Homo-oligomer: A and B are copies of this chain.
Amino acid sequence: MKPSLAQGTRDFGAEVVAKRNYIIQIIRKHFELYGFSPLETPAFENLETLTGKYGEEGDKLMFKILNNGLERPEKHQKSRDEFEEVLQGKSKKGITERALRYDLTIPFARYVAMQAGHLNFPFKRYQIQPVWRADKPQRGRYREFYQCDADIVGSNSLFNESELLQLYADVFQDLKIPVDICINNRMILSDLAVKCGDIHLLTPMTVAIDKLDKIGMNGVMTELQAKGFQESARQCISEFLELSKLPVHEIAPGLVQFFGEETKGIQDIKQFIALEIPGVRIDLTLARGLNYYTGTIIEVKPIGVQMGSLGGGGRYDNLTELFDLPGISGVGISFGLDRIYDVLEETNGFPSTIQSGPQVMLVNFGPSFESANRSILQRLRQEGISCEMYPESIKADKQLKYANKRNIPFVILIGENELKDHTITIKNFQTGLQESFPENEFISSVQSVIISKL
């Protein structure tokens, strides 16, 4: 049998795990610095918890778990009988009662609804876990991928938005990825729809506006016309979009003039701009999830790299309404781990110090040297230096080849001379240099050699 991966999934070897962890550690560090506490929810939920929460498409792409005992209906009569019941609509349980996590928001909402009596609101949680979707696999789209979310629920204060914007700025600065942190406000878009004639125009309007980047102003206007927008409405939307081109400090005044008053949406967005958080800018074309967000919306776009957004979020009115707990509003953001990874790969942005294997290998010269090697290993590990001895005493050059292939930067050799002279020999693979040190000084020598290399 030739083994293979399930379609759309990936193995992550040592180097990739180390690079992914580098990103995750930075995101986690800032989540915690900002006072968010970790939450982990199970990989699968009861089907009814997830069904209907992601639209028809979501229900279709959710991975459902087959109830146990049903897997071989063609072979087992019991499983066959249960199937017949389902087919006849007689079964209560059906054939599936569980599904894999599709995002982190609904499990979070389920958690808040279940724990509401015990939680301290405002409640701040972060969650970094994989989710699964049965999308058609294609380049850059996987059936298993990580989401990294932070949310504050139970507070309407705009201070929360400002903290999340600052958090975005801090994380991408730490990752050394230049980004635009684009903000908009759903209330402004609603006001625009009303100004164009009807609040019901909001959805088709934002769908068209959302494409401005790709199809340009003419394209947007053509789409609006096709959707039945009148000349006057199209004119109004076009004027609005033109405002986006203004210098940052002229956009809010432009909006006030356009709407004839300083609406709540404009007030909010002005506050965030006034904070002068690096990278934050108004993008009036930003629409995002059409039905979910109700206030501020945020999207992070890399500068100088052709790549979709690296994160996004916004304010929503009702996190837990679907679980019979109304009135829990909140604001949240998300990081796209895979895209951030791709940007760092493409721009050589990973630090060269990321280490995915041991720093030191000891060459194995046979049983009579083992005891000396063991004590070296122990002392190195006590100093936090990861190391190993080659497990077999094969020819030294084969052992060195192994260390080199594994990118282990340093090799320690303790042969007869070293044992006699109480020295150790260190070979640096990068420089090719080989040096001997007195045994009682070798730890500090190894440390200084390793540090100078980093």
Chain A residues within 8 Å of B, Cβ to Cβ:
1-6, 9-14, 17-18, 21, 32-35, 37-46, 48-49, 60-61, 63-66, 68-74, 80, 83, 86-89, 91, 94-96, 98, 100, 110-111, 113-115, 120, 122, 124-125, 130, 132, 134, 144, 152, 155-157, 159-160, 163, 166, 170, 275, 322-324, 356-358, 361, 364, 370, 374, 378, 381, 384-392, 402, 405-406
Inter-chain contact B122/A11, CB cutoff 8 Å: no
Inter-chain contact B60/A38, CB cutoff 8 Å: no
Inter-chain contact A95/B111, CB cutoff 8 Å: no
Cβ contact of A387, chosen from B35, B73, B95, cutoff 8 A: B35
Inter-chain contact B34/A17, CB cutoff 8 Å: no
Inter-chain contact B65/A391, CB cutoff 8 Å: no
CA distance A21 to B38 in the complex (A): 10
CA distance A388 to B159 in the complex (A): 11
The residues of B that contact A370 with a CB separation of less than 8 Å are 159
Cβ contact of A323, chosen from B3, B41, B46, B405, cutoff 8 A: B3
CA distance A394 to B313 in the complex (A): 26
Q: Please give me the residue from chain B that is nearest to A32 by CB atom.
A: B386
CA distance A428 to B163 in the complex (A): 24
CA distance A234 to B443 in the complex (A): 55
A sample of 17 more A-B contacts (CB under 8 A), given A64-B66, A74-B94, is: A1-B48, A2-B324, A4-B49, A32-B358, A34-B386, A35-B386, A35-B387, A43-B130, A43-B144, A44-B144, A60-B69, A63-B65, A71-B95, A74-B88, A95-B95, A120-B402, A120-B405
Inter-chain contact B391/A152, CB cutoff 8 Å: yes
**Residue of A37, A88, A406 with highest tally of chain B CB at under 10 A:** A37
Inter-chain contact B42/A5, CB cutoff 8 Å: yes
If A41-B11, A64-B65, A386-B32 touch, whether A3 touches B49 (CB-CB below 8 Å) is yes
The residues of B that contact A40 with a CB separation of less than 8 Å are 11-12, 17
Cβ contact of A64, chosen from B6, B44, B71, cutoff 8 A: B71
The residues of B that contact A32 with a CB separation of less than 8 Å are 358, 386
Q: Please give me the residue from chain B that is nearest to A40 by CB atom.
A: B12
Inter-chain contact B155/A392, CB cutoff 8 Å: yes
A173 to chain B, nearest CB (A): 12
CA distance A156 to B207 in the complex (A): 63
The residues of B that contact A45 with a CB separation of less than 8 Å are 5-6
Query: 17 A-B pairs, CB-CB below 8 angstroms?
Result: A1-B322, A3-B113, A3-B323, A13-B37, A18-B38, A21-B38, A33-B384, A33-B387, A34-B387, A35-B358, A38-B356, A44-B63, A64-B65, A74-B94, A83-B87, A120-B402, A122-B390
A363 to chain B, nearest CB (A): 13
Inter-chain contact A391/B39, CB cutoff 8 Å: no
Inter-chain contact A96/B73, CB cutoff 8 Å: no
A163 to chain B, nearest CB (A): 7
Inter-chain contact A392/B37, CB cutoff 8 Å: no
Inter-chain contact B17/A391, CB cutoff 8 Å: no
